[in-house]
Amino acid sequence: MRPLGLRAAFASLLFIAASCSTAPEPLPAKAVVTVDEVSEAIAIEKATDARNDKFAPTGSPWFAVSEGTSPILITAPHGTKPFREGAYRFSDGGGTTALARVLGKLCKATVIYTTYESPSDPNYYDENAFKEAVKKELATGRYRLVLDIHGSHWFRPYDVDIGTMDGKSLLGQERLVKELISVLREEGLENISYNYFSAADHQTITKFASARNVPALQLEISSTWLRPAEGDLEAHRFAQLLQAMVRYIDFQQGR
């Protein structure tokens, strides 16, 4: 056998040394989402969808605020049909409300979400009661981040599109996006888009929050991840999404 040249032998030794010194891959973290939480999400999804095109009873609000203690505020403004430009348009579906509410429960976060048809689109106009509730929460000064949750048409090629007004809503904290992408991919949501829906147009919640000095992300999540009631695979995908968001919020709370 022909002996190795000096350069080849040295390269071989470097490879062996690098292989021996490489730290072992860390073990995966334990799952944090249970069957009960997905079952709760399914019940919320069904109840929200049943009220999707119904007006709130006289004297009752068309949205709700679930109070928490986390420095992360979660909004779901399109779980039911919103009124925009003279007509009611389609909703994102009850899966966005279900995600927001169960996420809020697990992370002890305040959640603002619609419960009936919206007389004014909270992600399009500022002058409505929903936005007043958001304003009231932000005025407390305790929030470090707003997550605005939406559903995106299943024909779109991404799992999640992250809207940041082309970076402006981050208020200099680019790590918020990088950390979210890392967590999403670890949980199986691989195809991430950035600013397809930038949240820069109209009076979005992302724009509203960042104007009040709170960083905000608009999450347009493929509806294929937001339909837990439709079957076993859908429920499993929802559990992956929920777990990703729990891990992300827990990480942000622990900073």
Nearest to 113 by CA among 160, 47, 69: 47
Neighbour count for residue 120 (Cβ, 10 Å): 16
| Residue 25: predicted pLDDT | 79
| pLDDT single digits (tens) 184-206 | 999 999 999 999 999 999 999 99
| Residue 21: predicted pLDDT | 53
Give the separation between CA 245 and CA 219, rounded to whole angstroms.
Answer: 11
Is the pLDDT at 208 greater than 80, yes or no? Answer: yes
Q: For residue 82, how far is the Cα from the chain centroid?
A: 20
| pLDDT single digits (tens) 217-234 | 999 999 999 999 999 999
| Residue 24: predicted pLDDT | 77
| Residue 174: predicted pLDDT | 97
| pLDDT single digits (tens) 61-116 | 999 999 999 999 999 999 999 999 999 999 999 999 999 999 999 999 999 999 99
Q: Which residues in the chain belong to E strands, given as ranges? A: 63-66, 72-76, 83-84, 87-88, 110-114, 145-152, 160-163, 192-194, 216-222
Is the pLDDT at 8 greater than 70, yes or no? Answer: no
Which residues on adjacent β-strands are paired with residue 192?
160
| Residue 254: predicted pLDDT | 85
Q: Structure pTM?
A: 0.90
Strands 160-163 and 83-84, sheet pairing: unpaired
Tell me which of 3.90.1150.10, 3.40.50.10880, 3.40.630.40, 3.30.1330.10 is the CATH number of domain 34-253.
3.40.630.40
| Residue 13: predicted pLDDT | 43
The band of 2, judged by pLDDT with boundaries at 50, 70 and 90, is: very low
Q: Phi, psi at residue 52, to the nearest 5°? A: -50, -45
The answer to whether 72 and 106 are in contact (CB under 8 A) is no
| pLDDT single digits (tens) 147-191 | 999 999 999 999 999 999 999 999 999 999 999 999 999 999 999
Give the separation between CA 128 and CA 121, rounded to whole angstroms.
Answer: 8
Which uninterrupted H or E stretch holds 181?
helix 175-186
| pLDDT single digits (tens) 10-64 | 445 444 555 555 667 788 889 999 999 999 999 999 999 999 999 999 999 999 9
| Residue 22: predicted pLDDT | 64
| Residue 14: predicted pLDDT | 43
Mean pLDDT of all residues belonging to the chain: 92
| Residue 26: predicted pLDDT | 84
Q: Give the start-to-end residue ranges of the domains of the chain.
A: 34-253
Amino acid at 116: Y
In the block, residue with structure tokens 């730290």: 23
The answer to whether 97 and 112 are in contact (CB under 8 A) is no
